A and B are shown apart, each in its own frame.
Chain A
Amino acid sequence: MTSISLFSKDIALYKQLKKQFFTFLILLLSSATLQAQHTLQGTVVDRGNQPLPGVSLAIQGTTTGTATDINGEFSFITSQTLPVTLVVNFLGYRTQEIDVYEAGTPIHIVLSEDIHFLDEVVVVGYGTQTRREFTGSVASIEGERIKNTPVQSFDQALQGVAAGVNIALPNGQMNTPPVIRIRGINSISLSSYPLVVIDGIPVNTGNISTNRASNNPLGDINPSDIASIDILKDAASTAIYGSRAAGGVILITTKRGKTGKAITSYDGWIGVTNAVRIPKVLNAQQYTDIKNEAIANATAIDGIAREPAYFLSHDADGSIIDTNWRDHVYRTAFSHNHSLNVSGGTEQTNYYLSLNYSDQEGILIGNDFKRKGIRFNLDHKVTDWFKIAGRGTYNISVNESYDSGSLPGASMTTTGAARLALVLPPNVGAYNADGSFNLNPNSGTLGSGNNKATIPLYNPAALFALSSYSSESSHFIGNVSAVFRPLRQVEITTTYAMDRINNENIAYQSPERGSAAYSSGGSVTNISTLFQNESWTNTLSFNEVINNKHFISALLGSELQQNTITAWGANATNAADNFFKYYQGGWANIVASGNNLGERVFFSIFSRLRYDYKNKYFITGNFRRDGNSALAPGRKYGNFGGVSGGWLLSEEAFFKDISSRTGIRDFKINASWGRVGNGNLANNYSSFDLYSAALYGSAATWENTQQGNPELTWETSDQTNIGLGFSALKNRLDVEIAYFHNDVNGLILSVNQSPSKGIPGDEILANVGTMYNRGLELSAAYEVIEGRDWSWNVSLNYSNIRNKVTALANNNEDIIGSTGSGNTNITRVGESIGSLYGLKTVRVNPDNGQRVFLNAQGEEVQYNGLGSWTHLDGSPAEALSGEDFYLLGNALPKWYGGFTNNLRYKSVELNLNFTFAGGNYIMNRTRSTLTDQIFFNSSTEILNRWTTPGQITNTPRVVNGDRLSFGGSTPISEHVEKGDFLRLQNISIAYNVPNKLLSPGPFHSLRLYGQINNALLFTNYTGIDPEVSANGNSNTAPGVEYNTAGLGRTFTFGLNATF
C-alpha cells in the first residue's frame, strides 16, 4: 500500500502531479486559444444546385482562405474575430461577399454566372481568346443549341444561327452535306466549302459517296459531343489557316470532363417526319382528259389526225385506277437518337466518354441513316509543367438510299424518285391484279396500262424492290498532344492527329424486269475508298504581361499534313443468276470502277503576334507560309496573313460619361485586313502534265490527258473587315455590326487553247478571273426579361451581301452552268456568280394561247407548240435557241439571317427559331416538269391552261409534244420566282423537372421537350422549298430546283437527363 501525502517528497508522485498540472494548464490555454478560433465551413453551388469545385474563398484583408473540393465543400479555421467578410471568387461567376457573423451553421453559397459579353471565350486558330482581345470576326454557337436538332450532321443544324453564314439543305435526302457559304461564294471552279477543324484536326468534308446514297463525313460526329462551334469569317482570323481558309473556317471543340464527380448525361429523342409541300397533281380522270385535249389541240394546229392516247384503267373490281405515286415514294419516317456520356475528373485528370446511336429514316422510302460510335477525350496533368491529352472518336455510319434524283446531276434520271412521285401517270397502277409489278414487258419500265404512250420511267415499287445503294463509313478522328510549360510564359505543344475514313459504297441493281439494269443483266458496283489525313502540328506560345499594362502574346508553329486517297472498285454486270446480289457472286462481266490514287502534302509555318495595351488597344498579326504539293514547282509556297486592330472605347475616360448617360458599355471597334488562299484543287496533280494508259490500235501506250500549267498557283482572297460591338441596357443588349469586302483574285479557270497546240480538251487551268463579295452583318441579342419565374431572350442576326464577278478567262467569256440536261445559269462579268439563265417569256397570247417570248433582239415571238415560231402578226420568226437566253436574275440570297425567341415561365420553356433569306430568284424547273407536254402527269397549275380566245392566263394552250412553251426542254423566265421566305425552323416546348421532384432520386436534372422542325414556311415561292437546290454546293449553278426532294417536317419528343 502506498502512503499518500501531497507534501511528501515522493518524487514519483510529485512528478506525476506536476505532469498533470502542466497538462491541465496546456489544455486550459488551448481551450482559451480555441475559443478565439472559428471553423468556417459550407458548400458552394451554382443556381442549378450543382456543386462548384475549385471556388476560391478568402477572408477579406487576410491570406486566410481555401478552395472548394470536388463536392463544392470547404472548411477552414480562422482566428479572426467575427464578423469577417468572406470573399467568394470563381471565374465566370459573380464575386460574392459574405459577412460571417456566426460560424456554427454551414454556409450555403449560391453563385450566379457572370455572363459578360466581352469575357466570352472564342476558339481561334491554334488557341483561344476572349472577345475583348479578339479583333477579327467570329460567330460562336454553343453545342447545347444543336444537340437536340433531328439532323444527321451538326452542320445541318446551323441554319440561321450566325450572321454571315448562309446554310441551306439542298434536298431531303438523308446525310446530304448542306450548302455552306461564309460571307458568300469565294471561288468559281474550286470548292467554297469552309475548312472544318475538329479539335485542331482539319477533316474531310463534302459528299464522299460514289453512288446515290449521299455520305457527309461530318455525319460521323455525334452532335451531342460538341461543346462549341466557332466560325471564323474574316481573313485576319482565318489567315492562320492560310491556303485553305478562303471559304472561312469552322472550328469544332468537343466536350471535356470537368473536375468533380462523374456526371452522366443522356440525350435522346424519337421523331416522326413527313414530307410537306409536295405539288398537287392531276387525278386519273383529269390526266386523261388533259392529255387527250393536248393531242386534239395538236391535230387542230397542224391538221394531222391523231387518236386519243390516254385511257382510264380499271381494277378487277371495276373501280378506276387512280394511283397517287407519292405514296410509293414518300413515307412517314420514324427516327430515334441516343447519346450517353460520362464525364468528370480530378485535379490531375479529366475525362469524357460517350456512346451514340442514331437510327433515322428519311421521308423517301428506303432512305435510312444509321450511326453508332464512341468518343474518348482525356486530359492529364502529369506535372505542373507537363500535360498530355488525347481525343478520339470512332463511328460507323451507313446511309441507304434509292436514287432520289436530288443529288447534283441526277435531276433527269429515269430512276429519280422525287420526279417519279410527281410525273408518273395516275391512270396506271404500281401492281397488276395478280400482285406482280406493272411493268413494260420489253423495257422493264412502268407498264402503260390502257395508255398508248410508252412510259420510259421506272415503276418505283419495282425499282425499290430490285435495287439498293449504300455508303458506309468507318471513321476515326483523333489526336494525341503533349504540352510543356518550361517557363511561366512559355508553352510548347506538339500534336499528332489523324482523320481516317474507310468508305465502302455498294450499288446493286437486279437483273429482273423492273430494275434499271434489266437490259444489262443486273449490275453491282463496289467501290472502296480510304481517306487518310495525318497531321503533325507544333506550336510555341509566349504570353507575358509587363507592368500590368502591356500584354504580349506570340505564337509560332509548324504543320505537316499529308492527305491520301486510295480507291478501288469494280462494276459487275450480267449476273449468272438472280440470286446474286453481291459483287462476290457470279457475274459474267467485271470491269474496274472508281479507281483512284492520290496524295497531297501541305507543309506550313505560321505565327501570330498580339499586343494589348492597358486592355484597351489591341493589335494582332497572323502569318502563314503554306506549301501545297498540287501546285506547280516553284509556285508551291504562298504567303498569307492578316493584321487586325481593336479599340475598346468604353475603357477610355471620355466614354465613362457617355456610358453613364446612355447605358452603353463594352463599346469596341475592330478593323482587319488579310489575304488568304484557296488551293482546294479537286485534282492532286492539277499543275502537272498527266498521262493515262491507253491502246494505240492493239498496242499498249500512254496518252496525254492533261497539259500542266507551270504557272498554276493559289487563288487569293483579300478581305477587309470593319466592325463594332457594344452592350447596353445593363448588358442585357449585345450588338455587333460588321462590314466586309472580299476581293477574290487569281480564280482558277479553264483557259481555251488553240487546237493547234494539241492540248487535251483544248484548255488549260490558269489563274484568271476576279470577283468580290461585300456586305453588312448585324447580330443582336436582347435579354427582355430575366427573372426567377419569367425570362425572355431574343436574338437576331442579319446579313446583307452582294457578289459581283469582275473578270473571267478568255476575254471575260461567260461561264455557263447546267442542271440536268439544260443550261440554267450564267457567270458573267458585272453580275452575281451563277445567275439564272434562260429564255425570257412575256405572257400567253390571249388570242391563241401561245407563249410569247422575247428573242435576243428584244422582239416578241410566239410558239405554237409544234415547232413553228412566228411574230405576233403571224409572220415567221426564227426559232429561239441558246443565243436568245437572257440573264434572268441573281441566284444568291442578298439577305439572310435568323431570329430566335426563348421564353421561359418557371420550369417551362418555349423556343421559336426563325430563319429567313431573300433578294434572290429561284428557277423552279420542277414546274417545267409538271407542265411538260409529254406523258408526264401535270400539276394542278395546268387546269388554268388557255382554252378560249380572249382568256387571260399564264398557262399556254396544251399541245401534245410541246416542250418549249412550258419550259420542258429549255428554262424559261416564267418559272423564275422570288425566293424570299421566312421559316419557323424550330419550335420547341420543354419542361425542366424541378429539383424538388427529382430529389431524392438519381437525377440531377431532367428536361423533357417536344419540338417541330421545319414547322412553318411563309413564302410566295410555289416550289417544294425555296432552300433546296438541284446542284448542291455548285458555285456556278445555284438556285435551281429541279425534281428535287423537299425537306420534311419533323416532330420529335426527347429528354435530356443528367445523373
Chain B
Amino acid sequence: MKKIRFIQAALLLLFSASVSFAAQPDLKKEVIHVNSARFAAPLVERWASEYERTNPGIEIAVTTNPSTGQQEFDLYFVGPANEKEENVNQHVIYTGRYALLPVANKSNPLLNELGRKGLNSKKLEKLFFEASLSQGYDDSPEKPQQEEVTIYSGNNADSFADLFATHFGYSPADIRGKRISGNDIYLINAVQKDNTSATFNSLGYLFDTETRELKSGLVLLPLDLKKEQQETLKSANVDQTIALLEKESIALIPVGRIGFAYQSENASAKRFLNWVLEEGQKYNREFGFLKTEPDLLAAQLKETKEPHYSAVY
C-alpha cells in the first residue's frame, strides 16, 4: 500500500518537475509580456516574431486572453473595448488602425433594392439602427423589405459595435436585430448562414488574408461614395481598400485605432513600440490593418525614441 502511494507521489513529482521545467523561459532572454485583442493578435504576433528575430535577447509573449495566466503586462492592448478610457499613469502609443465596412449575405434581396447608388448616411442609419436620427425628417412610408433584413452585431465588450454606433451618433443598444455573444469573427458565420443578414466588421475579419478577397458568401453593401471610391470598394480587394482608406477619410466608414498602453519607465516595451512604429507598420496591411496616420506616427516616434526623464526634487 505504502509502495503504491510512493510510486504515485514520485510520478506526480516527476510530472510537476517536467511541466515546471518546460515552462521556464530561457533565462538569458528578456521577456516582454503583451496582451492583445483577438482580432489584432495575428498582427501583434507578427510584430513580435519579427522583433525577436532582430533582437535575439528579447522574447515577446503575446496573450489574447488576460483572464488566464499572465495578469501583469508590459504592454496592454488598446482597441475597441478601451480606446476611450484614459489612465493618466500610462502612455498610449497607437500602432495601427482598423476600418469597419457593412456587409451582407450575398443572397440578401436588400442588395437589389439598394441599386447602384448605395447607402447614404440616412439609409445606412435607417438600416442599422432602431431609432434613426434621420427618420424624423423622413415621412416617406417605410419599405417593408428593410424590415426583413436581419442585422447582426457583436455583444462582447471588445466588439466593433461600439465604434460603429458611436460613429453615427448612437449607442450600441440602438443597433437593430440580433446580437451574437463571442468574438466578432462569428458575425461572419452568422451572416454566411442567413441570407437575410447584414452586419459590419473589420477588414481583417471580412477579408481572407491569403486570397486578399472577401470571405465566401459575403458582399460589401454599396455605399453612396465618389465613383472612384465606389470602384475601389467594389473590387473587394483588401489591399486596394486599405490603400483608399489610408489616402482619405470617408465619413461612412468608421475607422478606429489600435495601440498599446505602457509604463513610461519600461524601456524595453518602449523600444519594442518604437520598432513597431518604425519597422512594423509594413506588416499592418497584410492583416487588414491601416498604418497609423503619418502625423501621429511622427509624433509617437519622437516620443518613443526620447528617454523619459523624471525630475526629483
> Do residues A107 and B183 form an inter-chain contact, with CB atoms below 8 A?
no
> Do residues A99 and B156 form an inter-chain contact, with CB atoms below 8 A?
no
Main secondary structure of the interface of B (DSSP, over half): mixed
Query: When each residue 146-175 of chain B gets 1 if its CB lies under 8 Å from chain A and 0 otherwise, what string results?
Result: 000000100111000000011001111110
> Do residues A732 and B136 form an inter-chain contact, with CB atoms below 8 A?
yes
Query: When each residue 712-729 of chain A gets 1 if its CB lies under 8 Å from chain B and 0 otherwise, what string results?
Result: 000000000000000001
> Do residues A83 and B3 form an inter-chain contact, with CB atoms below 8 A?
no
Contact of A100 among B133, B141, B180 (CB under 8 A): B180
A488 within 8 A of B: no
B228 within 8 A of A: no
A453 within 8 A of B: no
Query: When each residue 185-210 of chain B gets 1 if its CB lies under 8 Å from chain A and 0 otherwise, what string results?
Result: 01001100000000000000000000
Query: When each residue 84-101 of chain A gets 1 if its CB lies under 8 Å from chain B and 0 otherwise, what string results?
Result: 011000000010111111
> Do residues B181 and A662 form an inter-chain contact, with CB atoms below 8 A?
no
> Do residues A110 and B135 form an inter-chain contact, with CB atoms below 8 A?
no
> Do residues B182 and A785 form an inter-chain contact, with CB atoms below 8 A?
no
> Do residues A101 and B170 form an inter-chain contact, with CB atoms below 8 A?
no
| A8 CB, nearest partner CB in chain B, Å | 13
Residue of A nearest to B129 (CB): A787
- Known A13-B1, A112-B173, A661-B141; judge A787-B131 contact (CB<8 A): yes
> Do residues B133 and A787 form an inter-chain contact, with CB atoms below 8 A?
yes
Residues of B with C-beta under 8 A to A660: 141-142, 144
B311 within 8 A of A: no
Residues of B with C-beta under 8 A to A86: 181
A697 CA / B166 CA spacing, docked (Å): 92
| A789 CB, nearest partner CB in chain B, Å | 5
| A87 CB, nearest partner CB in chain B, Å | 10
B178 within 8 A of A: yes
A77-132: which have CB < 8 Å to B?
83, 85-86, 94, 96-102, 104-105, 107-112
> Do residues A787 and B170 form an inter-chain contact, with CB atoms below 8 A?
yes
A2 within 8 A of B: yes
A42 CA / B182 CA spacing, docked (Å): 12
A653 within 8 A of B: no
A585 within 8 A of B: no
| A59 CB, nearest partner CB in chain B, Å | 12
- Known A102-B186, A108-B157, A663-B141; judge A790-B169 contact (CB<8 A): yes
A101 CA / B65 CA spacing, docked (Å): 16
Residue of B nearest to A112 (CB): B173
Residues of A with C-beta under 8 A to B293: none
A173 CA / B166 CA spacing, docked (Å): 50
A785 CA / B2 CA spacing, docked (Å): 79
Contact of A83 among B132, B172, B182 (CB under 8 A): B182
B139 within 8 A of A: yes
| A794 CB, nearest partner CB in chain B, Å | 10
- Known A105-B156, A732-B136; judge A788-B182 contact (CB<8 A): no
A792 CA / B139 CA spacing, docked (Å): 17
B4 within 8 A of A: yes
Contact of B170 among A102, A661, A788 (CB under 8 A): A788
B215 within 8 A of A: no
Residues of B with C-beta under 8 A to A16: 1, 4
| B277 CB, nearest partner CB in chain A, Å | 29
Residues of B with C-beta under 8 A to A96: 178-179
A641 CA / B139 CA spacing, docked (Å): 43
A784 within 8 A of B: yes
| A531 CB, nearest partner CB in chain B, Å | 50
| A343 CB, nearest partner CB in chain B, Å | 25
> Do residues A107 and B133 form an inter-chain contact, with CB atoms below 8 A?
no
Residues of A with C-beta under 8 A to B4: 4, 13, 16
> Do residues B141 and A99 form an inter-chain contact, with CB atoms below 8 A?
no
> Do residues A101 and B133 form an inter-chain contact, with CB atoms below 8 A?
no
A126 CA / B136 CA spacing, docked (Å): 39
Contact of A785 among B133, B156, B157, B179 (CB under 8 A): B133
A154 CA / B55 CA spacing, docked (Å): 75
B213 within 8 A of A: no
B231 within 8 A of A: no
A977 within 8 A of B: no
A97 CA / B155 CA spacing, docked (Å): 11
A730 CA / B170 CA spacing, docked (Å): 18
Residue of A nearest to B7 (CB): A4
Residues of B with C-beta under 8 A to A13: 1, 4
- Known A663-B141, A784-B136, A788-B166; judge A99-B174 contact (CB<8 A): no
Contact of B135 among A2, A104, A732 (CB under 8 A): A732
> Do residues B131 and A109 form an inter-chain contact, with CB atoms below 8 A?
no
A789 CA / B125 CA spacing, docked (Å): 14
> Do residues A97 and B179 form an inter-chain contact, with CB atoms below 8 A?
yes
Number of interface residues of A (CB under 8 A): 41
Residue of B nearest to A728 (CB): B139
Residues of B with C-beta under 8 A to A47: 171, 173
A105 CA / B142 CA spacing, docked (Å): 38
> Do residues A112 and B181 form an inter-chain contact, with CB atoms below 8 A?
no
Residues of A with C-beta under 8 A to B180: 83, 98-101
> Do residues A107 and B155 form an inter-chain contact, with CB atoms below 8 A?
yes
> Do residues A98 and B155 form an inter-chain contact, with CB atoms below 8 A?
yes
A111 CA / B155 CA spacing, docked (Å): 12
B130 within 8 A of A: yes
Contact of B181 among A2, A101, A661, A786 (CB under 8 A): A101
A785 CA / B155 CA spacing, docked (Å): 25
Residue of A nearest to B68 (CB): A104
Residue of B nearest to A42 (CB): B181
A110 CA / B186 CA spacing, docked (Å): 20
Residues of B with C-beta under 8 A to A112: 130, 173-174
> Do residues B179 and A98 form an inter-chain contact, with CB atoms below 8 A?
yes
Residue of A nearest to B179 (CB): A98
A909 within 8 A of B: no
A783 within 8 A of B: yes
A47 CA / B139 CA spacing, docked (Å): 28
> Do residues A101 and B189 form an inter-chain contact, with CB atoms below 8 A?
yes
A784 CA / B165 CA spacing, docked (Å): 19
| A140 CB, nearest partner CB in chain B, Å | 22
Residues of B with C-beta under 8 A to A94: 130
| B265 CB, nearest partner CB in chain A, Å | 26
> Do residues A787 and B189 form an inter-chain contact, with CB atoms below 8 A?
no
| A1004 CB, nearest partner CB in chain B, Å | 18
> Do residues B156 and A729 form an inter-chain contact, with CB atoms below 8 A?
no
| B190 CB, nearest partner CB in chain A, Å | 6
> Do residues B136 and A788 form an inter-chain contact, with CB atoms below 8 A?
no
A732 CA / B135 CA spacing, docked (Å): 9
A730 CA / B140 CA spacing, docked (Å): 11
Residues of A with C-beta under 8 A to B189: 83, 101
A102 CA / B38 CA spacing, docked (Å): 13
> Do residues B172 and A110 form an inter-chain contact, with CB atoms below 8 A?
yes
B83-138: which have CB < 8 Å to A?
130-133, 135-136
B25-52: which have CB < 8 Å to A?
none
> Do residues B131 and A100 form an inter-chain contact, with CB atoms below 8 A?
no
A86 CA / B180 CA spacing, docked (Å): 9
Residues of A with C-beta under 8 A to B130: 94, 112
Residue of A nearest to B190 (CB): A99
- Known A2-B2, A788-B174; judge A101-B136 contact (CB<8 A): no
| A759 CB, nearest partner CB in chain B, Å | 68
> Do residues B171 and A788 form an inter-chain contact, with CB atoms below 8 A?
yes
Contact of B179 among A99, A662, A790 (CB under 8 A): A99
Query: When each residue 193-221 of chain A gets 1 if its CB lies under 8 Å from chain B and 0 otherwise, what string results?
Result: 00000000000000000000000000000
> Do residues B170 and A83 form an inter-chain contact, with CB atoms below 8 A?
no
> Do residues A99 and B186 form an inter-chain contact, with CB atoms below 8 A?
yes
A471 CA / B155 CA spacing, docked (Å): 60
A663 CA / B169 CA spacing, docked (Å): 25
Not counting A101-B182, A101-B189, a sample of 9 additional A-B residue pairs whose C-beta atoms are within 8 angstroms of each other reads A101-B181, A102-B186, A108-B155, A660-B142, A785-B133, A786-B131, A786-B136, A787-B170, A788-B170
The 8 tightest CB contacts between A and B, nearest first, are: A101-B182, A102-B182, A101-B186, A788-B170, A787-B133, A100-B181, A98-B179, A99-B180
Listed in ascending order, the chain A residues whose CB lies under 8 Å from chain B are 2, 4, 13, 16, 42, 47, 83, 85-86, 94, 96-102, 104-105, 107-112, 660-663, 729-730, 732, 783-790, 792
